[in-house]
Amino acid sequence: KFATLIVPFCQDSERRFKEVGLTNVWKTIWLGLDLDIWKPMDMQQYPKVKASLGFSDSTFNIVMVQANQRRKYIRESLEGIQHFIKAYPQANTRVYFHTHTQGERNLALDLQELGLESIVSFPDAYQLAMGGLPEAYMALIFGAADVVLNVTMEGLGLSHSQAQAC
């Protein structure tokens, strides 16, 4: 059975599908992103979002995203942030880590060992357990960040596309 509609993930694919004569090609949607949600935003309109993440206009704001902990380079990513802070203490770095604090590893212990516990915030554990945050709120979180780190291509790189869209 043929596809009734092809939704390409990039403009190159859209062009190629149309070049071979396919007429059921929709406009490019970056990995299926809803571009009404994942878009550049004026974060000055959302000061409570920044504050809820531990961010402010005077901090360098990093968002880290990952779900599975066993096979991810979490410790190495945190060590990288530690090196950045040592090299650029004036950046006043803050981190929002969108994951569970405990799972296959105890992130609280990693943060304590690396001296990062005072600059890292996590989502509410109950909210994560009950299904996480709505997509529109995740877009605001990404929009509040100066940098989004996707630990080992979480979600097959979807968070990279989401961050770029914001």
Distances (CA, A) of 111 to 71, 106, 127, 144: 18, 9, 22, 22
pLDDT for 96: 96
Per-residue pLDDT at 141 exceeds 90: yes
**What's the mean pLDDT in 63-70?**
76
**What's the mean pLDDT in 100-122?**
89
pTM tops 0.75: yes
The model's pLDDT over 1-19, given as tens digits with 9 standing for 90+, comes to 567 888 887 788 899 999 9
Closest of 34, 27, 69 to residue 161, by C-alpha: 34
Across 44-58, 76-90, 125-139, least confident range: 125-139
Mean pLDDT over the full length of the chain: 87
